[in-house]
Amino acid sequence: MSDINIAEAKINLEKKGFLDLGIDPTMDVFAEIERLKKEKNAIVLAHYYQEPDIQDVADYIGDSLGLAQQAEKTQADIIVFAGVHFMAETAKILNPSKKVLLPDLKAGCSLADSAPADLFRKFKEKHPDHLVVSYINCTADIKALSDIICTSSNAEKIIESIPVDQPILFAPDKNLGAYLNKKTGRNMLLWNGACMVHEIFSLEKITKLKTRHPNAKLIAHPECEDPLLRMADYIGSTTQLLKYTQQDNGSEYIVATETGILHQMQKASPEKHFIPAPPDNSCACNDCPHMKLNTLEKLYLCMEYEAPEILMEEQLRLAAKKPIDRMLEISRAAGLIG
């Protein structure tokens, strides 16, 4: 690769979101990533919704809670975060002395985007007596405006740890918030945000699918809408869904969440059959378009040239860290993490 090409790719980085460089087609990208991990003391953390090739090169694969914990405790010098922007931000917030790389800076999140900080600040000001609990799928600015962060794995325990007479404002996911209200008997005030992937499932198509596969169990993520959750045999975070399919004695599952998790489900239980819940149209809309912006090639390039990097002002980082620390503390006390 010539120096001119790299310099140009770095100039275009902000516009494109990634280093737009060609790779020798004969290169063994898997082997190169392994070499770079050793040479640079780098760790690859990947979300379950990443494409299978990325999951296969990752040192750790998990959901938001597990990834945050790994990011906090790693001794590596470089964290390569194969996920979306708010997750890489969370890694930087928790471990600022590390260089945090994201293969494509434009890997955003429709749910995080549904809570712009200026509007959320005004909303919060109208409810000064409310404690703000935010789902981790939000920007660092929203985290900084929150009292406690939660993930889908620990949300119930976090809500239960708050005194019943304390009013709560929950953001940004209204579906997860409504599900938690039902589970905990609380009446949290909900910000009106949602994830485009989890709202796309077709109830009609799922019903037909269940007729064709009468023994298949419907398992769903709590970011899905209430009518779907009511039909589900099991509801849980991505990690909980994976564990359920390993421990349950069923043999067939209709999976209502992003399709990336099917790779780990199939690997863990090769004898079982997993069917992605169909979306409301003919496209693959239950593939998160943001997550899938990361590719193995972009992952390799960001490791080789150490860009794009996540940078953050220290004042924002400290303000965003407080509610995450609170979440980790409550999760530890509840025995959810080690």
Binding region for ligand SF4 (CB under 6 A): 49, 84, 109-111, 137, 195-197, 258, 288, 290-291
CB of 199 to ligand SF4, least distance (A): 9
Would you say 64 is a known binding-site residue? yes
CB 287 within 8 A of CB 258: yes
Name the burial class of residue 165, with classes exposed (0-12), middle (13-18) and buried (19+) by CB atoms within 10 angstroms of its CB. Answer: exposed
Would you say 114 is a known binding-site residue? no
Would you say 138 is a known binding-site residue? no
Q: Using the Cα atoms of residue 158, residue 319, residue 237 and residue 69 in order, give the sign of their dihedral.
A: negative
> Encoding tokens for residue 153?
């794995």
CB of 111 to ligand SF4, least distance (A): 4
Would you say 2 is a known binding-site residue? no
Report the distance separating Cα 31 and Cα 291, nearest Å: 23
Report the distance separating Cα 200 and Cα 204, nearest Å: 12
CB of 27 to ligand SF4, least distance (A): 29
Would you say 213 is a known binding-site residue? no
Considering the complex, state which of residue 137 and residue 295 has its C-beta at the smaller distance from ligand SF4. 137
Considering the complex, state which of residue 21 and residue 193 has its C-beta at the smaller distance from ligand SF4. 193
Q: Which residues are CB-neighbours of 46 under 8 A, at least 6 positions away?
A: 54, 55, 57, 58, 60, 61, 82, 83
Peptide bond into 276 cis (omega under 30): no
Considering the complex, state which of residue 138 and residue 330 has its C-beta at the smaller distance from ligand SF4. 138
> What 3-state class would DSSP assign to 57?
helix
- The DSSP secondary-structure symbol of 144 reads H
> Encoding tokens for residue 233?
């045999």
CB of 71 to ligand SF4, least distance (A): 16
Considering the complex, state which of residue 250 and residue 289 has its C-beta at the smaller distance from ligand SF4. 289
CB 310 within 8 A of CB 89: yes
Considering the complex, state which of residue 225 and residue 304 has its C-beta at the smaller distance from ligand SF4. 225
Cα end-to-end distance, the chain, whole Å: 44
Considering the complex, state which of residue 21 and residue 279 has its C-beta at the smaller distance from ligand SF4. 279
Considering the complex, state which of residue 69 and residue 110 has its C-beta at the smaller distance from ligand SF4. 110
> Encoding tokens for residue 106?
């434009």
CB of 274 to ligand SF4, least distance (A): 18
Would you say 135 is a known binding-site residue? yes
Phi, psi torsion values for 160, nearest 5 degrees:
-65, -25
Per DSSP, what are the bridge partners of residue 279? 201
Would you say 136 is a known binding-site residue? yes
CB of 276 to ligand SF4, least distance (A): 13
CB of 7 to ligand SF4, least distance (A): 32
Would you say 109 is a known binding-site residue? yes
Report the distance separating Cα 168 and Cα 150, nearest Å: 13
Would you say 302 is a known binding-site residue? no
Q: Could you tell me which residues are annotated as the binding site for [4Fe-4S] cluster?
A: 109, 195, 288
Q: Could you tell me which residues are annotated as the binding site for iminosuccinate?
A: 47, 64, 135-137, 152, 221-223, 238
Q: Could you tell me which residues are annotated as the binding site?
A: 47, 64, 109, 135-137, 152, 195, 221-223, 238, 288
